[in-house]
Amino acid sequence: MKHTFADLHLRVNWKDQAATARMVTKAAALGYALIAVPLAPETRTEEIAQLRITCSDVGLDFAARVNLHPRSQNELLSQLRKLRRKFEVVCVLCETKEVSRQAAKDRRVDLLNFPLLNYHGRFFDRAEAELASSALATLEVDVKPLLILQGPTRIRLLACLRREVAVAREYRLGVVVSSGVSEVMHLRKPREMAALASLFGLDSAAALEAVSENPVGIVRRNREKLSSGFVAPGIRVVKGGKDC
Amino acid sequence: MKRTKRRYLALRLDSETVPSQKEFADAVWRAVTQLFGEVGASLTGLALIDYSAEEKLGVVRTSLVTVDMVRAALASITCVAGREMAVHVLTVSGTLKSLYGKV
């Protein structure tokens, strides 16, 4: 089966057009079909369209992503109300337990991302996984720290990720493996990302899903929701006018 | 005794400067031992079969069951001999003949 590979966390300074073009070209050369770049909430629609063109020039599909880092539950709800319909992928950086729980149960959140090196600030436990599995959120794991860290710090991170991924799989919660890189040299091929994911306990099929079906599914679902004909999941307007 | 199945991995070195064969081999071994320890590294049966600095290509051999381990170790390489570098797996094959046919 041919996979469509996606990287939902390519951190480029999109205002620097040369750097963006370099990164996007490299991603296409490495075999990705879809990328998402985190943008500032105030990014204008024209700027998003420009990025989409840059990507389509090299044969890449582009999804606009926003990273929310709210300090409270109310701030998260307010940001979601404002931004959900503007971006195709919404990721919440869960830095407090209150925010983590709200993000996990809110169906407008796509990705849950946890602070990498603050092990006491990673609130991904069974309760979180249970909430997320009944909503639509997915656990996102960035591989960048696995590339740049070494020794005890990496060992500790791997142990932490292994525990979290095991919990996620127990509750049938999707896992998305993203690069999270901002430098071209740190970009890896999708199958290499899957191999890195095997380090924290994903078997090869699940690891491949984490870089293909899972991220692509999120974008496809959200594009359908953002389309003008969408009414509710499974219901869409197919024809309008007086003769209906 | 059952014959060990092997796989050959063709590698592309992504860097501005090219390391020597010894530097590259050391970097691969270091990555494998850092990630999986010496016991894990001993299971891989890893060997550098071919290396071309001009073409920035390398070929390594490993056992079939440890292909993913070696792939992960290669992906974790970020610098060789102090110079920034990435190693990408171009293709995996069961024989050297078919590997060179694919590259």
Q: Which residues span the domain enclosing B31?
A: 14-102
* Predicted pLDDT of residue A115: 85
Residue A43 lies in a domain: no
Q: What is the mean pLDDT of chain A?
A: 91
Q: In this model, does residue A30 exceed pLDDT 80? A: yes
Mean pLDDT of the B2-22 span: 92
Residue A89 lies in a domain: yes
User: Where does the pLDDT of residue B9 fall: very low under 50, low under 70, confident under 90, or very high at 90 and above?
Assistant: very high
Q: How many domains does chain A have?
A: 1
CB contact under 8 A, A186 and B68: no
Other CB atoms within a 10 A radius of the CB of residue B65 amount to 13
User: Where does the pLDDT of residue B87 fall: very low under 50, low under 70, confident under 90, or very high at 90 and above?
Assistant: very high
Q: How many domains does chain B have?
A: 1
Residue A57 lies in a domain: no
User: Where does the pLDDT of residue A76 fall: very low under 50, low under 70, confident under 90, or very high at 90 and above?
Assistant: very high
User: Where does the pLDDT of residue B103 fall: very low under 50, low under 70, confident under 90, or very high at 90 and above?
Assistant: confident
* Predicted pLDDT of residue A122: 82
Q: What are phi and psi of B40, to 5 degrees?
A: -60, -45
From residue A179, give the alpha-carbon distance in Å to each of A119, A170, A186, A194, B19. 20, 24, 8, 11, 26
Picking from A68-72, A99-103, A228-232, which range would have the lowest pLDDT averaged per residue? A228-232
Mutate to test the interface with A, among B76, B78, B79 (most CBs of A within 10 A): B76
Residues on chain B touching A196 (C-beta within 8 angstroms): 72, 75-76
* Closest chain A residue to B85, measured at CA: A185
Residues on chain B touching A191 (C-beta within 8 angstroms): 71, 89
Residue A14 lies in a domain: no
Mutate to test the interface with B, among A150, A177, A183, A188 (most CBs of B within 10 A): A188
Size of interface A-B (CB pairs under 8 A): 43
* Predicted pLDDT of residue A244: 67
